[in-house]
Amino acid sequence: MTRSLAVVGKSLTRLGALEKVTGRSQYTGDLTLPGMLHAKILRSPHPHARIVSIDTCAAQALPGVAAVVTPRDVAPDTRLQPDRA
């Protein structure tokens, strides 16, 4: 590198800084889509356990609930594997 550098080595203002200080920067959590629904995960109270059965009927029947997914909704070969996730 013989020529002197004009841009590299300079403290250019961080991209997005203006958006960040004005609250305009959009993070994933700030996005809204029409008809968007909200999901939560039921977590096991046990550090190590196997699920014997899941009954989602009552949850499904709760007004406002659109869908419940369980491992049955995923083909076994695409389930989260211990070597991934």
Partner 1 sequence: MKIKKRWKVFFLINGKRRSLTIEPHWTLLEVLRDQLGLTGTKKGCDRAECGSCTVLLEREPVYSCQVLAVQARGQRITTIEGLTRNGKLHPVQQSFIDHDGVQCGFCTPGFVLTASAFLDRTRRPTPDQVKQALSGNICRCNAYVKIIESVLSASKRGKRIRD
Partner 2 sequence: MREEVAEAALDLIQVEYEILPAFFDPMQAMKPDAFSIHPGGNIAGGKPIVLERGSVEEGFAQAERTFEGTYTTQVHCAAGMEPRVALAQWDGDFLTVWKSSRGIHMLDRPALARGLGIPAQQVRVICPAMGGGFGSKDETRMGTLTALLARKCGKPVRMEYTRQEEFVAGRTRHPSITHLKVGIGRNGEITAIHARTIMSKGAYMSSGSAVIRRCGQGALYLYQTPNAKFEGTLVYTNVPPAGSYRALGAPQGQFALEVHMDKIAEALGLNPLEFRRRHHVKPEGQPGRRLTPPGELVSDQPVEGGIPFSSNRLSECVRLGSRAMGWQRRWRPPNSSPGPKKRGLGMALGLYRGGLAQKAGAEVEARLDGSVEIRVGTIDVGEGAFTTLLQIGAEALEIEPARVTILGGDTATTPEAPVTSGSSTTFSMGTAVQQAAATLKERILDRVCAQLGADRENVKWNKGAIQMNRPTKKTVAWKQALALLSPEERRVRLAIQPGSTEFVINSFAAHFAEVEVDTETGKVAVVKYVAAHDSGRIVNPAAAQNQVEGGVMQMLGYALTEELLVDPKTGIPLNGNFLEHKVPVIVDLPPLKTIFVNAPDPAGPFGAKALGEPPSIPVAPAISNAIYNAIGIRFQDLPITPGKILDQLPLKGRG
**Closest separation in Å from C-beta 18 to partner 1:** 6
Distances (CA, A) of 72 to 11, 19, 67, 69: 53, 43, 13, 8
Residue with Cβ nearer partner 1 (27 or 48): 27
Closest CA to 51 of 66, 68, 72: 72
Binding-site string for partner 1 from residue 28 to residue 67, where x marks contact by CB under 8 A and - marks none: -xx-x-----------------------------------
Is residue 21 close enough to count as binding partner 2 by CB under 8 A? no
